[in-house]
Structure 1
Amino acid sequence: MLFISIWGLEMKKLLSLFILLLFVPISVRSLNPSLNDDVLGLIVFKADIQDPNGQLVSWNEDDDSPCNWVGVKCNPRSNRVSELVLDGFALSGRIGKGLLQLQFLRKLSLAKNNISGSLSPNLTQLVNLRIIDLSENNLSGSIPGDFFQQCGSLRSISLANNKFSGQIPDSLSSCSTLAAINFSSNQFSGPLPSGIWSLQGLRSLDLSNNLLDKEIPKGIESMNNLRGINLGKNKFTGVVPDGIGSCLLLRSIDFSKNSLSGNLPNTMQKLTLCNDLNLHKNSFAGEVPEWIGEMGSLETLDLSDNRFSGQVPTSIGNLQSLKMLKISMNALTGTLPESMINCKNLLVIDFSQNSLTGSLPDWIFKLGIQEVLLSGNKISGSMDSLFSSSAENSRKKLLVLDLSRNALLGKIPSAVGDFSSLEVMDLSRNSLVGGIPASIGELKTLNVLDLSENQLSGSIPMEIGGAVSLKEVRLEKNSLAGTIPTSIEKCSSLMSLILSRNCLTGPIPTAVGNLANLQIVDLSVNRLTGTLPKQLANLSRLVSFNISHNQLQGELPAGGFFNTIAPSSVSGNPSLCGAAVNKTCHTVLPKPIVLNPNSSDSTPGSIPPNLAHKKIILSISALIAIGAAAVIVIGVIAITVLNLRVRSSTSPSAATLALSGGDDFSHSPTTDANSGKLVMFSGDPDFSTGAHALLNKDCELGRGGFGAVYKTMLRDGRPVAIKKLTVSSLVKSQEDFEREVKKLGKIRHPNLVELEGYYWTPSLQLLIYEFVSGGTLYKHVHEGLGGNFLSWNDRFNIILGTAKSLAHLHQMNIIHYNLKSSNILIDSSGEPKVADFGLARLLPMLDRYVLSSKIQSALGYMAPEFACRTVKITEKCDVYGFGVLVLEVVTGKRPVEYMEDDVVVLCDMVRGALEEGRVEECVDERLKGNFPADEAIPVMKLGLICTSQVPSNRPDMGEVVNILELIRCPSEGHEELV
């Protein structure tokens, strides 16, 4: 048997093999030549396809027949391939000429894959082909003008959801046997070819969601078999052709989202079989025609977002099959016709944003309608019609009630609890009065409650906690009083709570801090008092929290969202303190005991009522004054002594000594009022450095957003790196600083730079790190440190080690904030060590403008959420920076590169290359092919996933580590390519 492996061969080799198989006799196989054509054709097709999930593993070129292969179906009589169905196999690559060997193929379906390239070869040359389905792929380019000239027996073609462009070729009209055409969701442009109406056998035409323009050509009246036409979401202009009324079999018409205008043609009334008519978002004008009632089979009628005027025609009552009626965003006037009570099957009515008047019709709530949308009209009167006894059963079916922006009066009836299935209630922007009925709590399925901008009074009922499914509560701009009910904590799904501009009093309930899903809270412009519950800091999903213009006091919660809260969100509360309001929270001093010698009371510390208040205030004031004076005196003495010691231990050129040598670092820890405090976590007392270590530029290793780094030596000759922080004005108090630094000092990981100690004075802070000798990753990648560039194995190990270090930090709830290649050091064995982790924790607040100014050198690494104050900063911002770092290491390019006439963003460049199927070209050219593509490409894809614009779409670093380890594991069963 002649055995030739063709897997992975280039097309030139495939053609050679094809010729060989045609002309060299194969004596062992007793097969007819035509059967070999099917095997060969499919194997050649497979050679152009990537099959990441191994779906085509059963396709073996040594098989006598392909009829048992996955996705292949043969005619039982001829044993020739009749169907090839590979839908949803995650295939990529291109459609090659191998399929042209399948001369008896009747159905070809490659839908829901990732196949790219153009529509070549010309599959219509297969004279027996009936069905082509290439939908939901990445095919692109234009359709060749002669593609449809030899259609054979083609009856159905779908190219939907691809990236085809250009005009639809006129040759399409040559396919006289076509019954279904679906070119939707592409980028086809230009006019609709008029010859398309010559396809008299056509039953379904879908060209929606393209860029087709000009007028709809005349001639549609010849389409006697047409059942469905969808030209929606294009750029068609002009009018609907009169001839459409001759297509008597039409069931579905969709001309939505175009620029069609004029009146609807009267001929449409003959379309009595039509079930769905969608003319949404055009420029149709005039009155809604009375003849619309003649289209008796209509189930869906959408005339919304046009320019219809006049009254709603009474003939709509004839549409007894009607289920959905949408005429919103027009200029309709008058009242809703009573005849609509005959529409017994109606489920949805939407007349919002018109100019309808009158009161709410009784029939609306007698039909069992599920969605009533009447917002933005001029409907007046009370809501009593909702609660007539005859409508009681129908009310239980209502899901959505939107009567907002009308002129409704009176109270919200207490019987509102009868809407037992209600999910959305929007009565906002009316003139409703009275209180919120307690029966609101009976609405167990209610998701949205919007009663804002009315004239409601009274308190928020405690029963509101019974509406356990609530996700959004809007009660702003009313006259509500009383307290926020604690029962609100029962609404565990609540995401938005807006109670602003009322007269609410009392404290913010601690229960609010238990609503873990809260994202938006607005309690501004009320009369709330008391302190803020510390539990609010646990709301991890907060993106907005506004308590401005109340009477709240005390300290803002620490941590989480409140570290970055905007000052405008807490303004107008004079007694609030914290960084956001730029007001220090003073420690509360205990009241001193004041003895009154004139008192007859023998109880120590008793004070006459008329003097007690005055004496206590005087005592506190005196203590504060004395304390302040003492601090100033001690500070002056300390600075004077420190300066004297500095001058005595350095040469005149070192007058700006930042750290004295000798005994200052001879003990661990040491504390001296004059020289500061040194702590070495190892307890090693043999630390010694000279002044030149921090002043001599030759000892400087680099500078970053948080300070400069210098190299110095211990007495035993071991080098260390000292970071001199340049954020002294922003650093926390000594107590907080030391607490945070000690936490960082306990972190140990092979891929993290070890923090060995620190030095503190109010004006100077130093961090003492282990010294890593191999230089930064930045220099290795971009400058070839030592004349050597990193190999692929080196790069992969650096990526994996960095991922492990970040995963370790995130397990300890530490966000790096400043990940970039210049903050990753390479040790003597080539292992990465991440530096500068956790330094943002030393700042009193993680304010974005502070962070941005400190890490502005990290351009290109910063996650997009840094630009939005309302989005919470989480570990996912480190994941984003890591993704950029991965692409930088693999490609050898900087995150952002400025060209002469352009700015190239690395993430966008790699993503574009991936979409075009040339991502392998992005690998650093200095590797010169010395890298495994089956590792490099998945690593780059992982980098792109990590740089998703949406934080929730990025993986956790623990997941990243697992993925990298899977990529590195060698695959089994790989054969050498011949």
Structure 2
Amino acid sequence: MGYLQFFIFALISVSSLRSCKGIDHDGSNDNNDDDVIGLIAFKADIIDSSSHLSSWNQDDISPCSWKFITCNPATGRVTELSLIGLNLSGKIGRGLEKVQNLQVLNLAHNNFTGSLNLQLSLLNNLESVNLSRNGLSGNIPPFLTNSRRLKFLDLSKNSLSGPVPDEFFLSCSSLRVLSLSGNNINGPIPNSVSQCTTLNHLNLSKNRFSGSPNFAAGLWLLTRIRTLDLSHNTLTGRVPDGVSNLHYLKELFLQGNHFSGGLPSDLGLCSHLRKLDLSNNLFTESVPVSIQGLSSLTYLNLANNVLTGDFPEWIGELNGLEYLDVSGNGLTGTLPESVGGLGVLTYMSLSGNNISGNIPKSLIYSSKLSVVRYLNLSWNNFETRMPLKLGYFENLTVLDLRNGAFHGSLPADICDSGSLQILQLDGNDLTGTIPEEIGKCSSLYLLSMSHNDFRGFIPRSMSRLKKLKILKLDSNQLSGEIPQELGELENLLAVNISYNRLQGRLPDRGIFPSLQASSLEGNMGICSPFLKGPCKMDVPKPLVLDPFSYANQMGNHEGGTKSSKGSKHHKFLSTSVIIAILAAVLISIGVLVISLLNISARKRLQFVGNALESCSSSSRSTRSLTIGKLVWFDSKIAPGWVANPETLLHKAAEIGKGVFGNVYKASLGEEGRDLAIKSLVVSNMIQYPEDFDREVRVLGKARHPNLVSVKGYYWTPSLQLLVTDYAPNGSLQAKLHEWSTSSQPLSWTKRFKILLGTAKGLAHLHHSFRPPIVHYNLKPSNILLDDDFNPKISDYGLTRIVAKLDKQVMSNRFQSALGYVAPELACQSLRVNEKCDVYGFGVLILEVVTGRRPVEYGDDNVLILEEQVKMMLEEGNVLECVDESMGRYPEEEVLPVLKLALVCTSQIPSSRPSMAEVIQILHVIKTPVPHRMEAY
């Protein structure tokens, strides 16, 4: 028995003895003792890392002076315990049952784990219990609502599972608010819920509730209900009539289920209904006419169903409507004039239907609609001219008319409101020129006008769109040169001007020098190093793309006479280097100090690695997998291979370890195909399958020859597995540092191939996704090699999946990538973006070329590879650091590759090139005569 437990036992004994001797006959002190004893026992199971409960002293006669405690001043008994958001962990143990006068218990926003304590049902005076946003698991106790006074119960956003027992609702006659949202509860909704006759708000969303058409048998009897949320479950069948029994219903959320059939015909009888969301189901038939009777409705979402029939003529009668979304259905007909009656509408999406005809004048000219902020008429069949006077909507921020069969010219007043942020006109038949007035769209950050028939020049006025981030003008008939002024748009992240009639030079600033061929091809003669074809001008290469210029040493080392033009470049670069050195000296000192501190961390890292290995080995042998969600992105994988999910690990052999988890190899049986399985070590931090699914699907779309392809995943609350391609040649780490005399070291040809392929993979992550996928953990162990030594980047995007990494995991991740961490990540003072990966790629180059680790520890010092290479380059003997094991190599390639590495590892992020520029540099470096490389 521990000291604290012994003390509590002794205190209980003393309290009992005092009672036997008749001390304190009024009972007040005895009751206070109960409160003290109960709260101290409760505290014993809590991990309080920030000492929030330091005032809780077992020697005190009363707990009323303790923090987070409220007492009844008349009786001195504890009535409220509120520990919300204190980062407490541990379990909700015994002790609270002694605090018999407790009315309010709030432990929300902490990290409590374990099951719900059955002792809570013994507190007969409880009125409010909030245990939301913790890590509680297990089943819901059947008698948790035993207190006849309980009015508020919130268990949302935990990991509770299993079905809700019928008994749970048998004693809920006083309950007003109940939320079980965001757990893993399954099974049907018990009919006994009808016993909660005073319930006002019921939230069962984001669980796995299932059921047949009779699911509402008990719910339609909750006549006092005001908010009913059953969204994001797996409820099925037709929603039966009877909802009109809910006379006080104000909000009904059924979205994200599998409901089918027509909408309940009596919906329109819920006269107090303000919000109705039935989206993302399988509802069919037409929209019930009865809905026009919902005069209080402000929010109506019927999106992504299979509704048919004409767009409702009576829509204008819902004159209080602020949000309307009927997108993704099969509605036909025309927009009625009554749409102009939606006087306070701020969001309107009719996208993805088959609505035709003209845009009603009432929609354009009605002064009542001046507050509209979001208007989406895309993917319809209007076959009408581009609506005029759209700029009249003074607050319009999003206008989406893509693929709406609009024709005619673009109105000059499109941006008169000055508030438009997104303008999407793609896939129409718009003609004429882009008006100069487009420059008035000062708030735009997305302008997309592709696949139309715009002609003439690109207006110079576009250079006034200072907030613009995405510009798409592809597949039109635009001609002439791109205005040089567009290079001044510093926020521009993506541009596509392909398949026009443009020619001449690109702007020499901003994003334009690095535009890839896919953004430029199909024109008459744009001058770009990425394009093969005619060019009427000889534009000098941007200085950042010249890998043969690096400080004063270059000319001296390589010999030869500089031209006057080269001297200017040399002078400019020297000045830049001096400025960069002055600006980065403090950061360099900081990085050196961090590296020195890491000497003492090596043994600790080894201990953590051994602990992870021990934990993973034991968990693998004892873990009992529960039925979870299994998703394949690759249709070629036979489903029968994983009929039993346990085969994912039972068929696997461990082949590696990482900070995010262990990696196993598994074979596809008769197909003879190998796959890799990563078991995420921080899986308990990912509570919601929809979050995991969304992020993994992003990774599943990141298909590229130099990325490890994500084939699928398996999810349960306690286990998440990623299934990817298997790389038979292991990791670059093993080939560089763990090869034996029986295996061949990597030749220069293979090393260059690995660097170029890795650069292409990173460029795909950076430039093909918005927002970019940043790796943050690039190192040789995350570069895998296939049969032909093609590199495949692994572990990309895992920081997106595991968004709630704890401090230990984050620390381990950076420690394991020692030397690859960009300075801005180490000091956390600069903007973190894809330039962090560029820094890591620069260190990777140095490690590949030299065969040495980025940080090496001597007896009395720490050797940083990047600093050594820089010093040797300045001294003129940099080739002495090249890995001798690779044999002969072409100096004219190795030397500029090392210089490129030093540019990539600049201490100032903005001085590093993009990965697109890195690829171009590597192509320039590569010796163009093929037979010269064959000897290497």
- Is TM more than 0.5 here? yes
- Displacement of 1:243 after TM fit? 1.5
- Preserved CA contact (<8 Å) 1:222 1:247: yes
Q: How far apart, CA to CA, are the structure 2 residues paired with 1:941 and 1:10? A: 35
Alignment of 1:630-669 (within 5 A): none
Per the alignment, residue 165 of structure 1 pairs with 161
Alignment of 1:566-965 (within 5 A): 849-850=754-755, 868=765, 939=808, 942-944=811-813, 956-958=825-827
Per the alignment, residue 406 of structure 2 pairs with 408
Specify which of 99, 104, 107 is matched with residue 102 of structure 1.
Answer: 99
- Preserved CA contact (<8 Å) 2:141 2:168: no
Q: How far apart, CA to CA, are the structure 2 residues paired with 1:399 and 1:878? A: 34
Per the alignment, residue 151 of structure 2 pairs with 155
- Displacement of 1:222 after TM fit? 2.3
Q: How far apart, CA to CA, are the structure 1 residues paired with 2:312 and 2:474? A: 38
Counterpart secondary structure, 2:314: helix
- Preserved CA contact (<8 Å) 1:124 1:152: no
Q: How far apart, CA to CA, are the structure 1 residues paired with 2:395 and 2:182? A: 36
Counterpart secondary structure, 1:363: helix
Per the alignment, residue 929 of structure 1 pairs with none
Work out whether 1:452 is the aligned partner of 2:357: no
- Displacement of 1:852 after TM fit? 7.8
Specify which of 481, 506, 509 is matched with residue 508 of structure 1.
Answer: 506
- Displacement of 1:781 after TM fit? 11
- Displacement of 1:379 after TM fit? 1.0
- Preserved CA contact (<8 Å) 1:140 1:165: yes
Which whole-Å deviations, capped at 9, do the CAs of 1:427-465 have from their partners, x for residues lacking one? 110000111111111111111111011011111100001
- Displacement of 1:402 after TM fit? 0.5
- Displacement of 1:752 after TM fit? 8.8
Per the alignment, residue 237 of structure 2 pairs with 238
- Displacement of 1:558 after TM fit? 7.6
- Preserved CA contact (<8 Å) 1:376 1:405: yes
- Displacement of 1:480 after TM fit? 0.9
Counterpart secondary structure, 1:286: coil
Higher Rg of the two aligned structures: 1
Work out the number of aligned pairs and report it.
633
Work out whether 1:338 is the aligned partner of 2:337: yes
Change (3 A) 1:356 1:778: closer
- Displacement of 1:941 after TM fit? 5.4
- Preserved CA contact (<8 Å) 1:224 1:248: yes
- Preserved CA contact (<8 Å) 2:732 2:780: no
Per the alignment, residue 131 of structure 2 pairs with 134
Name the % identity: 29
Q: How far apart, CA to CA, are the structure 2 residues paired with 1:417 and 1:242? A: 47
Per the alignment, residue 62 of structure 1 pairs with 59
Q: State the TM-score, normalized to the length of structure 1.
A: 0.58
Per the alignment, residue 113 of structure 2 pairs with 116
Q: How far apart, CA to CA, are the structure 2 residues paired with 1:122 and 1:555? A: 78
- Displacement of 1:959 after TM fit? 5.9
Change (3 A) 1:848 1:200: farther
Counterpart secondary structure, 2:480: coil
Work out whether 1:376 is the aligned partner of 2:379: yes
Change (3 A) 1:109 1:455: same
- Preserved CA contact (<8 Å) 1:863 1:880: no
Q: How far apart, CA to CA, are the structure 2 residues paired with 1:954 and 1:167? A: 50
Q: How far apart, CA to CA, are the structure 2 residues paired with 1:188 and 1:953? A: 43
Per the alignment, residue 261 of structure 1 pairs with 260
Q: Given residue 165 of structure 1, which amino acid in structure 2 is its aligned partner? A: S
Per the alignment, residue 205 of structure 2 pairs with 208
- Preserved CA contact (<8 Å) 2:433 2:457: yes
Change (3 A) 1:219 1:494: same
Work out whether 1:475 is the aligned partner of 2:344: no
Specify which of 490, 493, 500 is matched with residue 491 of structure 2.
Answer: 493
Change (3 A) 1:555 1:863: closer
- Preserved CA contact (<8 Å) 2:125 2:147: no
Change (3 A) 1:242 1:92: same
Per the alignment, residue 42 of structure 1 pairs with 39
Q: How far apart, CA to CA, are the structure 2 residues paired with 1:122 and 1:777? A: 41
Counterpart secondary structure, 1:409: strand
Per the alignment, residue 270 of structure 2 pairs with 271
For structure 2, which runs of at least 5 residues remain unmatched after alignment? 548-559, 565-587, 611-658, 660-730, 739-744, 783-794, 830-936
Change (3 A) 1:151 1:90: same
Counterpart secondary structure, 2:95: helix
Q: How far apart, CA to CA, are the structure 2 residues paired with 1:235 and 1:953? A: 45
Change (3 A) 1:178 1:444: same
- Displacement of 1:526 after TM fit? 2.3
- Preserved CA contact (<8 Å) 1:879 1:956: no
- Displacement of 1:404 after TM fit? 0.5
- Displacement of 1:957 after TM fit? 3.1
- Preserved CA contact (<8 Å) 1:778 1:821: no
Per the alignment, residue 359 of structure 1 pairs with 358
- Displacement of 1:847 after TM fit? 6.2
Q: How far apart, CA to CA, are the structure 2 residues paired with 1:15 and 1:441? A: 75
Q: Given residue 165 of structure 2, which amino acid in structure 1 is its aligned partner? A: P
Q: How far apart, CA to CA, are the structure 1 residues paired with 2:773 and 2:393? A: 47
Which whole-Å deviations, capped at 9, do the CAs of 1:228-284 have from their partners, x for residues lacking one? 100000010112221211111000000001111111222221111100010001111
Q: How far apart, CA to CA, are the structure 1 residues paired with 2:71 and 2:434? A: 70
- Preserved CA contact (<8 Å) 2:15 2:33: no
Bigger relative CO (Cα 8 Å, ≥ 6 apart) = 2
Q: Given residue 942 of structure 1, which amino acid in structure 2 is its aligned partner? A: S
- Preserved CA contact (<8 Å) 2:732 2:781: no
- Preserved CA contact (<8 Å) 1:881 1:947: no
Q: Given residue 329 of structure 2, which amino acid in structure 1 is its aligned partner? A: N
- Displacement of 1:22 after TM fit? 3.6
Per the alignment, residue 422 of structure 1 pairs with 420
- Displacement of 1:10 after TM fit? 7.8
- Preserved CA contact (<8 Å) 1:305 1:330: yes
Q: Given residue 9 of structure 2, which amino acid in structure 1 is its aligned partner? A: S
Q: How far apart, CA to CA, are the structure 2 residues paired with 1:882 and 1:63? A: 59
Q: How far apart, CA to CA, are the structure 1 residues paired with 2:42 and 2:165? A: 27
Change (3 A) 1:334 1:93: same
Per the alignment, residue 767 of structure 1 pairs with none
- Displacement of 1:553 after TM fit? 7.0
Q: State the TM-score, normalized to the length of structure 2.
A: 0.60
Alignment RMSD, CA only?
Answer: 4.7
Q: How far apart, CA to CA, are the structure 1 residues paired with 2:507 and 2:433? A: 21
Q: How far apart, CA to CA, are the structure 2 residues paired with 1:254 and 1:332? A: 22
Q: How far apart, CA to CA, are the structure 2 residues paired with 1:187 and 1:81? A: 34
Which whole-Å deviations, capped at 9, do the CAs of 1:142-178 have from their partners, x for residues lacking one? 1133444x23321111111111110011112212211
Per the alignment, residue 145 of structure 1 pairs with 142
Which whole-Å deviations, capped at 9, do the CAs of 1:26-56 have from their partners, x for residues lacking one? 99x9871110111222222122111222222
- Displacement of 1:485 after TM fit? 1.5
Change (3 A) 1:958 1:269: closer
Q: How far apart, CA to CA, are the structure 2 residues paired with 1:257 and 1:275? A: 19
Q: Given residue 501 of structure 1, which amino acid in structure 2 is its aligned partner? A: Y
- Preserved CA contact (<8 Å) 1:280 1:305: yes
Change (3 A) 1:306 1:76: same
- Preserved CA contact (<8 Å) 1:483 1:506: yes
Q: Given residue 380 of structure 2, which amino acid in structure 1 is its aligned partner? A: N
Which whole-Å deviations, capped at 9, do the CAs of 1:878-929 have from their partners, x for residues lacking one? 8565999xxxxxxxxxxxxxxxxxxxx9x99xx99x99xxxxxxxxxxxxxx
Q: Which moved more, 1:9-18 or 1:188-197?
A: 9-18
Change (3 A) 1:13 1:491: farther
Work out whether 1:443 is the aligned partner of 2:441: yes
Q: How far apart, CA to CA, are the structure 2 residues paired with 1:183 and 1:519? A: 50
- Displacement of 1:83 after TM fit? 0.9
Which whole-Å deviations, capped at 9, do the CAs of 1:402-427 have from their partners, x for residues lacking one? 11102111110112231311111111
Q: How far apart, CA to CA, are the structure 1 residues paired with 2:205 and 2:594? A: 54
